[in-house]
Chain A
Amino acid sequence: MRKRRPNYFAGFGSLVWLLVVGLPLYVMLIATFQSRPDYAANGPLAFPGHFTLDNYIKDLDSGFAQYFFNTVVVTVCVVGIVVLLVPPLAYTIVRSRGRVTTTVFRLFLLGLAIPSQAVIVPMFFVISEAGLYDNLIGVILPTAAFAMPVCALILTGVMRDITPDLYEAMTMDGASPRRVFFQLVLPLSRSGISTIVVFSALQAWNGFLFPLVLTQSAETKVITLGLYDFQTEHGVDTPGLLAAVVLSMLPVLIVYLFARRALVQGLMGVGGK
């Protein structure tokens, strides 16, 4: 076995990075529990004298509850579309070796390279023409489409790891593609599917550009856009603004605590080796 010597340099470096990651998060949390005058007087680093939840209550009253709800709607619908469409796609890519499928796979690989900014101009007109401007559906459709390439990549990776013997055994028994999909592929890809759920949810929850360009009224505003507007309109209310940031990340943080493994594994798969 390899003898372990403590590496003080690495240990020190990792603690420095902990500080870099942790300090801003600390500043953020501390600020949200103070009143505005307290924050201005104490400065961002001081521990607050008395805690208050007013910033959160104020944010929720001033529209963030609505933005929150909209974001949930967008996220749930995007995840729904992705989970409905991507598993059969990945199944085909892995199992059918026809030329069409290869082309389709290359199309999705190309999709990885298309930045959403690049298509935002035509998207604006397509969505407007379809009568979906300033409508959550208009945000959901492109967001789902742009989450698909990475999800397809993650899921094909997972489905490829199912041993071919299993497919062969089922095929020998005369199982149809449909039965193979529902009785073999889906149950064995559960971990991959949870990864794409988490991944597409994260994409949808944190989406910014599509809502920015495709919606305008308060009724269709999502959280990220709410944050942006809050900053441009009441930039001086730092505690209120940071409370909104905390609200925006709360559900993601909860999901992370429960689905950490799926998320981390899925992202590792994207990196490749």
Chain B
Amino acid sequence: MTRTATFSAADGTFDKADSSGIGAGRPGFLWAAPATLFFALFAIVPLIMVAVLSFARWDGLSNPEFAGLDNWKLLFDDPVMIKSLWLSVLLTVLGVLVQTPLSILLGVWAAGHQRNRAVLSAIYFVPMLLSVAAVSVLWRAVLDPNFGVPAQATWLFGDGNLFGTQAGAIGVLVFVSTWQFTPLHTLIYQGAARAVPRVLYQAAQIDGAGTVRQFFHITLPQLRNSIITSMILMVVGGLTTFDTVLILTQGGPGSDTTISAYYMYQKAFKSFDYGSASAIALLLVLVSTLISLVVVRLSGYDKMRSTMEGL
């Protein structure tokens, strides 16, 4: 983990050696076979089944019947489905807008080397350790209209029932995800901010640029790749939020926080309409795969570059 700077160069020579015929002592595919088979069986096969089921009518008991595009047509005629898509997007966009500036500021700040920063960053990290279920249960208790904090601080929360209105419930969901996931993104920015060459700041200082100008003219542009990676993680995470909604709002009030992932769960395990549920699931996969392909391209990861480079 320490040999990082020389890596790309080393990789180059390594490729040359490879093409000049030193192929002995390299592992064959058999080494990867157990993991690949296992992964295929429990992730890829079900994924293919989802695709097939999305074109079928199935209640889980009788045999599945081919239904063509029926599920898809029904979905796009279903007002709740349209609303759920819109809500998923809304929650995701709000999440990105709130978490990105926050985690950039915290990450850049935490990248400094004073001791107090190390201690604070260690504390900031704690919400990451709790399960989404635990975090949701915790916030449900803290924000309880009768026994929680809102009842104590009516000047801030009004009647205190944050879960009673759509705006309130969405606000809670965005806040809770921010609370839990900001540490992860802070960490990404912290690593990237440490990798910004010191020389740039020294040059800026000689030119008389202040902290704020340095932040906007050096730090932010240098963080560009991390911003892309982090945002894409947020988008995929946001689109597939599920536990938070199930525990905090149960999709309510009404269907005001019924996001697509939760709607899919309801379709499958409450209405036993596995065909429609599979169609929603496939839609989620398509969107998140599309976004991830963009990440892989932008980050160059599939080119087998070292991720530790510069970290």
Contact = CB atoms under 8 A, between A and B. Distances in A.
A37 B149 CA distance: 16
Interface in A259-273: 260, 264-265, 267-273
A241 B288 CA distance: 34
A244 B133 CA distance: 11
A10 B122 CA distance: 17
A158 B1 contact: yes
A106 B137 contact: no
Contact of B281 (A44, A121, A176): A121
A173 to B, nearest CB: 9
Interface string A213-230: 100000000011101101
A57 interface: no
Interface in B203-220: 205, 211
Contact of B144 (A21, A224, A238): A238
A77 interface: no
Given A117-B242, A142-B42, A238 B151 contact: no
B289 A113 contact: yes
Contact of A44 (B38, B60, B147, B296): B147
B142 A92 contact: no
B166 interface: no
B251 interface: no
Nearest to B274: A121
A273 B225 contact: yes
Interface string B150-187: 01100000000000000000000000000100001001
B1 A44 contact: no
Interface string A1-24: 011010100100110011011101
Given A43-B151, A95-B26, A272 B131 contact: no
B46 A126 contact: yes
Given A144-B38, A161-B1, A260-B122, A271 B188 contact: yes
Interface string A229-273: 011000110100110110011001100100010001101111111
Nearest to A173: B25
B206 to A, nearest CB: 11
Given A157-B306, A161-B7, A228-B137, A202 B129 contact: yes
Nearest to A25: B126
The winner among B129, B202, B304 for most chain A CB atoms within 10 A is: B129
A100 B144 CA distance: 54
Contacts of A31: 141
What is the interface residue range for chain B against chain A? 35 or more
A146 B240 CA distance: 15
A92 B29 CA distance: 7
Given A27-B142, A112-B292, A181 B27 contact: yes
A92 B31 contact: yes
Interface in A47-63: none
A203 to B, nearest CB: 10
Interface hub of A18, A191, A270 (most chain B Cβ within 10 A): A270
Interface in A79-117: 81, 84-86, 88-89, 91-98, 100-101, 104-115, 117
Interface string A153-164: 100011011011
A248 B134 contact: yes
Nearest to B114: A4
A interface secondary structure, majority = helix
B187 to A, nearest CB: 6
Q: For the side of the interface on A, what is the size category?
A: 35 or more
B39 A107 contact: yes
A121 to B, nearest CB: 5
A123 interface: yes
Given A118-B240, A269-B307, 11 more contacts: A10-B109, A39-B147, A44-B142, A96-B32, A126-B49, A161-B3, A206-B133, A213-B269, A223-B131, A227-B137, A241-B137
Interface of B: 1, 3-4, 6-7, 10-11, 13-14, 17-18, 22, 24-29, 31-32, 34-36, 38-47, 49-50, 53, 60, 102, 105-106, 109-110, 117, 120, 122-127, 129-134, 137-142, 144, 147-149, 151-152, 179, 184, 187-188, 190-192, 195, 198, 201-202, 205, 211, 225-226, 229-230, 233, 236, 239-240, 242-243, 246-247, 261, 264-265, 268-269, 274, 277-278, 281-282, 284-285, 288-289, 291-293, 296, 299, 301-302, 304, 306-311
22 contacts: A14-B106, A18-B123, A27-B142, A111-B44, A114-B47, A119-B43, A122-B50, A123-B46, A141-B42, A161-B4, A191-B1, A223-B131, A231-B140, A248-B134, A249-B134, A252-B129, A260-B125, A271-B229, A271-B233, A272-B226, A272-B307, A273-B195
- 5 A-B pairs closest in CB distance: A206-B131, A271-B188, A145-B42, A113-B292, A171-B25
Interface of A: 2-3, 5, 7, 10, 13-14, 17-18, 20-22, 24-25, 27-28, 31, 39-40, 43-45, 81, 84-86, 88-89, 91-98, 100-101, 104-115, 117-126, 141-142, 144-146, 148-149, 152-153, 157-158, 160-161, 163-165, 167-168, 170-171, 174-177, 180-181, 191-192, 202, 205-209, 213, 223-225, 227-228, 230-231, 235-236, 238, 241-242, 244-245, 248-249, 252-253, 256, 260, 264-265, 267-273
